[in-house]
Chain A
Amino acid sequence: MKKQMSYIDSVHRDGRLWNIGMMILLFMFPITVAVMFTASPDWGALVKGLIATAPMYWAVGIVETITFVPMLGAGGSYLSFVTGNISNLKMPCAINALEQNEVSASSEEGEIISTIAIATSSIVTTIIILLGVICIVPLTPVLEAPVLEPAFAQMLPALFGGLGVAFVSKNWKIAIAPVVLMLVLFIFIPALDSSTVGIMVPVSVLFTIAAARILYKRGVV
């Protein structure tokens, strides 16, 4: 008798198919433009542009994938890495949903909750961007109004303030060491800024896991 596939296995099977399909579709965009407008790429400039961009993005992408997959779960990962805006939108959304439902990310319930939160967020984002594109003419002066500029410029601090309180207060023993370390590093090393925060996430995650392990072994947590 054929063994029935578990839910999680079917998520991986479907996720693989979707992501490979999306990869092909994404490449079809420049290829179709090139064919329809009979414009082959400027190969020299393409190689030069790629050398300037790809190695750093690939390195960051590999580290991000390894760091984020265990937090996002299977379904959440397949979706998040296609729809993007992970650390500023999908991840906080998933963390909040897991907290709200009091489920662990590695349980099947956690996998389901995180997938539902991330899928909902992706759908809403896509619709809002679509509406924004349709209404771009009337919206541009409103959204680019100087009075609103600081509000959108400070979105990440506004997001992580609320999320930080909710999560850190429940796990304060684990949080002390990494929060202190990150504050010291970001305050006293001027080179650390918005462009390097992506690289500091895995550093901080590894440090927190190591610190938590020590606390666990000593029976503090």
Chain B
Amino acid sequence: MTFHVNHPILFILAGVIIAAVLGQSIYFLVKALKRSRQLGMDQTKIKKTIKTAAIFTIAPAVSIVISVITLSKDLGLALPWLRLSVVGSLSYEAIAASNALGAMDLELGKVSNLTAQQFVNITLVMTISIMVGIWLVPVISKKLLGGMSKLEAKDKKWSEIFQNAMFIGMIAAFLGFVFCNVYMLWTPDARFIDSVNAVTGDKIQVPVAATYGLIPVCVMGVSAAVMVVLGLAMKKWKWLGDYALPISLIAGMASAIPITAWLG
């Protein structure tokens, strides 16, 4: 059998694994829904939760499709489809693929025909490197979550603050990240971003405006402002609450188009 990166067998193998992932999600969804009925939880609220989660997921999922397209140029379609449906993300998989190829004196972005051996090497580096969570969760989650329950039994108020502090800590890190290129304003030497030459595939540095680092800050501002307006509007139209996060996300993303043209 002659190997190529889009061989039908690769799609069948990826399809089987992705079907299993889908099976796991459906299994846990059904299990949680059953339990919610046993506990007498408000089923209208549960339906709203499902609807909001589904709508909110669309835009990020489309951006994952773009990542699949990006990686498929070098690795074929089956492997990125598998890796981004399971575990991975664009940056993780691209770095893993790049390191695996680099070890064979090849360069990501400049590979035309991968051999089966090179393909196996890339897949193994991706699989072994990005696997920790899958086995570590079964090992530690019961103990960790047990500790959280003990904390709640001991001091309910502190336990609630602790939970909120964790969420805020995570959000704060991402808010900081939004400002990570602001220093370009006062650092002329840093006003370059990495890019790829569309014709040669070479890595190049593209000059950008001093205000480039303000683009994400403005986008975040738009999204936050939309959320504030929706928060106020929710007092009159309660149903808006179900769509507040997806709407602010889409509004922020849409605003990035004129903002980038203006500040980029």
On whether the beta carbons of A158 and B176 are closer than 8 Å, the reply is no
Contact with B along A195-221 (1 / 0, CB 8 A): 101001101111111011100100001
On whether the beta carbons of A69 and B144 are closer than 8 Å, the reply is yes
On whether the beta carbons of B135 and A19 are closer than 8 Å, the reply is yes
On whether the beta carbons of B132 and A128 are closer than 8 Å, the reply is no
When C-beta atoms are compared, the residue in chain B nearest to A199 turns out to be B173
Determine the chain B residues whose CB is within 8 A of the CB of A207 once the complex forms: 169
Contact with B along A110-124 (1 / 0, CB 8 A): 011101111111111
On whether the beta carbons of B88 and A140 are closer than 8 Å, the reply is no
- Judge if A26 is at the interface, Cβ distance under 8 Å: yes
Given that A83-B86, A161-B222 are known contacts, is A126 also in contact with B18, CB under 8 Å in the complex?
yes
Separation of A186 and B223 alpha carbons in the complex (Å): 20
Contact with A along B229-264 (1 / 0, CB 8 A): 001000000000110110011111111110111001
On whether the beta carbons of A208 and B166 are closer than 8 Å, the reply is yes
Separation of A202 and B172 alpha carbons in the complex (Å): 11
Contact with B along A153-165 (1 / 0, CB 8 A): 1111111111111
On whether the beta carbons of B136 and A65 are closer than 8 Å, the reply is yes
Separation of A192 and B148 alpha carbons in the complex (Å): 31
Determine the chain A residues whose CB is within 8 A of the CB of B84 once the complex forms: 84, 129
Chain B: residues with Cβ within 8 Å of the partner, total of 158
Given that A119-B32, A133-B68, A171-B164 are known contacts, is A204 also in contact with B13, CB under 8 Å in the complex?
no
Given that A129-B65, A186-B179 are known contacts, is A155 also in contact with B53, CB under 8 Å in the complex?
no
On whether the beta carbons of B252 and A162 are closer than 8 Å, the reply is yes
Determine the chain A residues whose CB is within 8 A of the CB of B199 once the complex forms: none
Q: How far is the CB of A221 from chain B (nearest CB, A)?
A: 6
| A36, A126, A136, A160, most chain B CB atoms within 10 A | A160
Given that A27-B127, A162-B224 are known contacts, is A78 also in contact with B180, CB under 8 Å in the complex?
no
On whether the beta carbons of A96 and B56 are closer than 8 Å, the reply is yes
Given that A154-B216, A154-B260, A183-B179 are known contacts, is A116 also in contact with B46, CB under 8 Å in the complex?
yes
- Judge if B208 is at the interface, Cβ distance under 8 Å: no
On whether the beta carbons of A101 and B49 are closer than 8 Å, the reply is yes
**Between A and B, how many residue pairs show CB distances below 8 Å?**
552
On whether the beta carbons of B164 and A157 are closer than 8 Å, the reply is no
Q: How far is the CB of B32 from chain A (nearest CB, A)?
A: 4
- Judge if B102 is at the interface, Cβ distance under 8 Å: yes
Separation of A27 and B130 alpha carbons in the complex (Å): 12
Interface range on chain A (Cβ under 8 Å from partner): 35 or more
Set B58, B91, B219: member contacting A158, Cβ < 8 A: B219
On whether the beta carbons of B249 and A159 are closer than 8 Å, the reply is yes
Q: How far is the CB of B244 from chain A (nearest CB, A)?
A: 7
Within A32-53, the residues touching B (CB, 8 Å) are 32-34, 36-42, 44-46, 48-50, 52-53
Separation of A216 and B231 alpha carbons in the complex (Å): 28
- Judge if B66 is at the interface, Cβ distance under 8 Å: yes
On whether the beta carbons of A205 and B169 are closer than 8 Å, the reply is yes
Given that A29-B82, A158-B219 are known contacts, is A121 also in contact with B56, CB under 8 Å in the complex?
yes
On whether the beta carbons of A171 and B168 are closer than 8 Å, the reply is yes
Separation of A204 and B72 alpha carbons in the complex (Å): 35
- Judge if B120 is at the interface, Cβ distance under 8 Å: yes
Q: How far is the CB of B67 from chain A (nearest CB, A)?
A: 9
On whether the beta carbons of B115 and A61 are closer than 8 Å, the reply is no
* Given A83-B85, A125-B60, 7 additional A-B pairs, CB 8 A: A10-B31, A21-B20, A30-B120, A39-B116, A42-B121, A49-B122, A57-B92
The 7 A-B pairs of least Cβ separation, nearest first, read A158-B252, A61-B132, A182-B176, A161-B223, A162-B248, A81-B133, A132-B65
21 contacts between A and B (CB under 8 A): A15-B138, A36-B1, A50-B129, A57-B130, A58-B132, A71-B170, A84-B86, A89-B60, A93-B56, A118-B53, A119-B25, A123-B29, A126-B25, A129-B65, A152-B62, A157-B219, A158-B251, A160-B223, A204-B170, A209-B162, A216-B161
